[in-house]
């Protein structure tokens, strides 16, 4: 296990370096320097050249890359000329908000999807299974913004139960405490996610139910409750482990549409606005962090899978 972990970590670092080089190269090719945006359209070539020289953008891209990585390893992710703040500060202000919104919805999705999927598998083709499948398909097919608008109209503007917008506090503790404001955005993401996850869970549980060990458990007279909890759940959850692992990047990437509709300042919105503003340093930092999280998510999923299923050998 330890040897496997070391190998995986080393491999992940190599992959991460490769990904960062590719990302940096691509961004550099498309957008060699932010000089024109910083200096404005009226800036002369001389002014642009002077700015590039002063800020190191006149050097070969590989040297710029090495400088960037060196700075990043020391916590310096660059500076947003548009927002007049360091990129690290911008991320610090937002990551916890995005993490809470996405994390809470992910957690609720999993907690709802697992029993739902199992229930549907056990009662497959029943009226309740078909009804839940229909609802799941509707939610799965529904655009996030549309579901969000429906929930806002129904529960905020018509029934006045919840707020039409997410919490505006910049303290994550205050955000977490503000259920009145956070229920609808979390519910939106949860409903969309649970629709997909429950389908995976149902399918996985149906496969597991057909396995010999389930039949054996039933044959030896175990109560159905124990069959399900002791033998089915753990095995049926294996695909979910992978799914959850792959969802880790989403925790920080933010959910752009939800953040937009619910007026929530998170990382997704920061990235979107940075795209519009061509905010170079924010874009590259966000992309690199996203790539890191994908790799970490994969690693975590693989490790979690081995923990959940000892039959899987790590070699």
- Residue 46 class from Cβ within 10 Å (0-12 exposed, 13-18 middle, 19+ buried)? exposed
* Location of structure tokens 């790590």: 314
Based on the shown chain and the rule CB under 8 A, indicate whether residue 140 belongs to the binding site for other proteins.
Answer: no
Q: HSE of 45 in the Cβ direction (CA atoms, 13 Å)?
A: 0
CB of 184 to other proteins, least distance (A): 11
Helix/strand/coil for 185 = helix
Pairing of strands 85-86, 79-80: antiparallel
Binding positions for other proteins, 64-83, rule CB under 8 A:
81-83
Binding positions for other proteins, 259-288, rule CB under 8 A:
259-265, 269, 273, 276-278
Cα separation, 149 vs 144, in Å, equals: 9
CB of 304 to other proteins, least distance (A): 34
What tokens does 246 get?
Answer: 């792959």
Cα separation, 156 vs 184, in Å, equals: 9
Q: Which stretch binds other proteins (CB under 8 A): 62-70, 203-211, 222-230, 256-264?
A: 256-264
Q: Which stretch binds other proteins (CB under 8 A): 13-21, 42-50, 175-183, 187-195?
A: 42-50
> Residues 142-181: x/- map of binding to other proteins (CB under 8 A)?
---x---x--x---xx------xx--x-x-----------
Cα separation, 198 vs 117, in Å, equals: 5
**Identified binder of other proteins from the candidate list 20, 28, 51, 247, rule CB under 8 A:** 51
Query: Among residues 2 and 45, whose Cβ is nearest to other proteins?
Result: 45
Cα separation, 96 vs 114, in Å, equals: 26
Based on the shown chain and the rule CB under 8 A, indicate whether residue 233 belongs to the binding site for other proteins.
Answer: no
| Positions in the binding site for other proteins (CB under 8 A) | 37-44, 47, 51, 81-85, 93-94, 145, 149, 152, 156-157, 164-165, 168, 170, 259-265, 269, 273, 276-278
């Amino acid at each position: 296990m330890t040897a496997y972990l070391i190998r995986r970590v080393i491999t992940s670092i190599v992959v991460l370096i490769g990904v960062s080089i590719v990302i940096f190269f691509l961004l550099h090719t498309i957008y060699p320097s932010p000089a024109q945006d910083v200096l404005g359209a009226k800036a002369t070539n001389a002014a642009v050249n002077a700015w590039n020289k002063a800020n190191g953008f006149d050097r070969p891209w590989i040297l710029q890359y090495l400088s960037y990585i060196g700075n990043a390893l020391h916590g310096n992710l660059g500076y947003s000329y548009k927002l007049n703040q360091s990129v690290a500060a911008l991320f610090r202000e937002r990551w916890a908000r995005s993490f809470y919104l996405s994390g809470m919805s992910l957690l609720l999705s999993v907690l709802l999807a697992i029993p739902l999927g199992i229930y549907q598998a056990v009662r497959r083709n029943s009226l309740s299974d078909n009804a839940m499948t229909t609802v799941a398909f509707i939610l799965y097919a529904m655009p996030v913004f549309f579901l969000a608008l429906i929930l806002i109209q129904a529960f905020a503007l018509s029934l006045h139960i919840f707020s039409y917008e997410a919490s505006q506090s910049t303290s994550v503790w205050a955000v977490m405490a503000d259920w009145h404001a956070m229920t609808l955005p979390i519910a939106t993401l949860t409903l969309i996610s649970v629709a997909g996850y429950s389908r995976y869970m149902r399918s996985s549980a149906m496969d597991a139910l057909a396995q010999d060990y389930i039949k054996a458990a039933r044959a030896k007279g175990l109560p159905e409750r124990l069959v399900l909890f002791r033998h089915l759940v753990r095995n049926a959850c294996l695909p979910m482990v992978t799914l959850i692992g792959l969802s880790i990047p989403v925790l920080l990437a933010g959910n752009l549409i939800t953040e937009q509709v619910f007026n929530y300042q998170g990382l997704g919105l920061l990235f979107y606005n940075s795209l519009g503003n061509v905010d170079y340093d924010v874009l590259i930092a966000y992309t690199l962090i996203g790539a890191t999280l994908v790799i970490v998510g994969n690693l975590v999923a693989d490790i979690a899978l081995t923990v959940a299923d000892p039959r899987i050998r790590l070699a």
